[in-house]
Structure 1
Amino acid sequence: MDDIPKDERDARKRLQHMAADKGSSLAELSRVLGRNPAYLQQYVSRGSPRHLDEPDLLRIAEFLGISPRIIRTREGAPAPRGRTFGLNSGAGDTADDFRDIPRLPLDASAGPGALGAEEISYDTFRFSRKYLRELGLEGADLTAIRVEGDSMEPLLRSGDEIFVDRNKRAGEGIFVVRIGDAIHVKQVRASKAGTIALISANEAYAPLELAREEVEVIGRVVWKGGRI
C-alpha cells in the first residue's frame, strides 16, 4: 500500500475503526456486500480493490449508520446519498454548497471529566456554506463533539452537540480543553500570570485555577445544538 496516498489509507483505517466501533467485522461487512469474507480485509490491508464502488460504499454506510463520505477514498467522485445533518439552504443546491463537519467520538465533560477517545470521525453534520458564512465560520477549523454532564448548565446541557473551532485557542470565552487525558468544556477567564481559570456556568461547581502548562486548549466553542 506504499503507493496509496495517505488520505486513502486513512479512509480505510476509518472503515476498520467504524466497523469495530459498531460491533461488526470486515468479514461481516463483506457478506453484506455479497462478497467473499476476505474482500474488505484485502481492501483495507492491501488496497485491493483501490476504491469501493459507490453502491457498495452506500450499503456499508447504511449498515453502519454513518455518512459515506467518512470512508470514501475517491476524490472528486459524486457523493452517494446517505444520512446528512444540519441545515440545507434550498432545493437545487450541489455538494459544493455544503460543508461536512466531522463528528468525533469524544465527550467534552461539563462535569468531572471524560477520557478522550481516538480522534477519528464516525459521522458528520452537513451544513450549508451560506449559513456558516452568516455565522462567521466559513474559514473555521470545525469539529463536532457531544457535551456530557451538568456543570455548564443552563448554557450547555448534557447531550448537546457543540462545534469547536481549533483555529481559536486564545482569549476568553467557552473553550474545550484537555487536562491530562480528560476533555472538558469550560469558560476560560483571564487569571494571574502563568495560570488559567476555568469557570463552570453551574454555580454548584467551584472554579478551577491551574498552571497554564497543565491545560491544553483545543479550541473555542462557536455553535451548539441539541434536543428541546
Structure 2
Amino acid sequence: MSLSNLPNDDIDEFAVEQDHDEREEEISERAKRLHSAVRQAGGNGKVAARANMKLGTLSRYLAGRDMKASAMIALADACEVSLDWLAKGVEPTPALETIPLRTAAAVTQKNEDDDALPVKFFEVEPSAGVGVYPSEWVDSQDFLVSKKFIRQVLGVWSSKIFFVRVQGDSMTPTIRSGETILVDYAPQDIVDGLFMLSLHGRLIVKRLSIKDMHNISVISDNPRYNTFDVPMNKMCWASADPDAELRVVGKVVGRFEMGF
C-alpha cells in the first residue's frame, strides 16, 4: 500500500515512527564517535575529569543516552575533537588543526631570509569601523613566516595574509577565545568555510554555508549562538558593493598557538 492510500492517522503515525528511528540512529552513531574520541583521549576517567563530568554520566552517554548541548561541548573540548564531528560526524578542516608555530620555528622576528614572508599580526581584533582592509589597521607587529610552511603545510599560495587574535567563544571549540588565526584576504569565491567578516562595521569570525540559490547561512560553531541568513545580493568581498550588509574580509586558513 502506498502512503497516499493510507488514512491520515496512519500517515501521521508512520511519520512519527520514521522520525523516531532516524533519531535513534543519530544518537547511536554519536555514541560510537564518542567511544572513539574517549579512547583516543586516554579513557573514561581522564575524559570525565577534563569535562568536569561524573563518570557514570559519561558511561550513560557512551551507552547511547542522548547528550545535552552543554555536555556535548564539554566532551568535545575534553577529547580535543571538533564539535561538528562529535555531533554530526562532520570532519574538521585539516588546515584548522592547532599548530604551535613557535615550536615549529615557522615564525620569527629576526634572521631574514629569501624564504620568509612578512606577515602582520594583530594582537586583538581591530576596533569596529576601521574598515575591511587589513592594510588600514593599526597596532600590528610584523613577523616573518616560512613560505615553505605556508605553501606546503597550509596549502596557501597567497601573500595577502595576516594573523589576528580571536576574542569570544562563538566559534568554540573550532576556534577558542585567545587563539590566533591566519586569514587570506585575497579575493576569491565565497564557498562553504570559515571567514572573517564585517557585519555592519563589526568584525566577526563565522562559518559560511550556502543555504540555497539566494541565501548564505552565517553559523557559529558554538550551539549557544543562533545561525542567521543573509541574501547573497547583500554580501560582497571587502568593499565591492557599497550597499552590502555583510562584507568578507578574508578566509580563515589556519589556527595557531603563537607562543608570544
Please give the range of the TM-score, normalised by the shorter of the 2 chains.
0.5 to 0.7
Instruction: Tell me whether 1:220 sits opposite 2:251 in the alignment.
Output: yes
The equivalent position to 1:115 in structure 2, one of 128, 149, 153, is 128
Q: 1:142 to 1:216 in 2, by over 3 A?
A: same
What is the TM-score when the length of structure 1 is the normalising length? 0.53
Question: Which position in structure 2 is the counterpart of 1:145?
Answer: 164
Contact 2:122 2:141 in 1 (8 A): yes
State the number of aligned residues. Answer: 137
Instruction: Tell me whether 1:131 sits opposite 2:149 in the alignment.
Output: yes
What is the TM-score when the length of structure 2 is the normalising length? 0.47
CA RMSD between the two structures: 2.7
Question: Which position in structure 2 is the counterpart of 1:67?
Answer: none
Higher relative contact order (CA 8 A, sep 6+): 2
Whichever of the two has the greater Rg, that structure is 2
d(CA) in 1 for partners of 2:206, 2:164: 14
d(CA) in 1 for partners of 2:211, 2:143: 35
d(CA) in 2 for partners of 1:208, 1:159: 25
Contact 1:169 1:217 in 2 (8 A): no
Cα shift at 1:95:
2.0
d(CA) in 1 for partners of 2:257, 2:123: 16
Q: 1:116 to 1:147 in 2, by over 3 A?
A: farther
Q: 1:147 to 1:116 in 2, by over 3 A?
A: farther
d(CA) in 1 for partners of 2:249, 2:220: 17
Which structure's residues are more often helix, by fraction?
2
Gaps of 5+ in 1: 1-84, 109-113
Q: Where has structure 1 moved over 3 Å in runs of 4 or more?
A: 85-89
Cα shift at 1:97:
2.0
Aligned-pair identity in percent equals 27
Per-residue CA deviation, residues 140-168 of structure 1 (Å, 9 max, x unaligned), is 42011121100100000111111111124
Instruction: Tell me whether 1:96 sits opposite 2:114 in the alignment.
Output: yes
Task: Find the residue that maps to 1:115 and give its secondary structure.
Answer: coil
Question: Which position in structure 1 is the counterpart of 2:211?
Answer: 191
Q: 1:226 to 1:94 in 2, by over 3 A?
A: closer
Task: Find the residue that maps to 1:95 and give its secondary structure.
Answer: coil
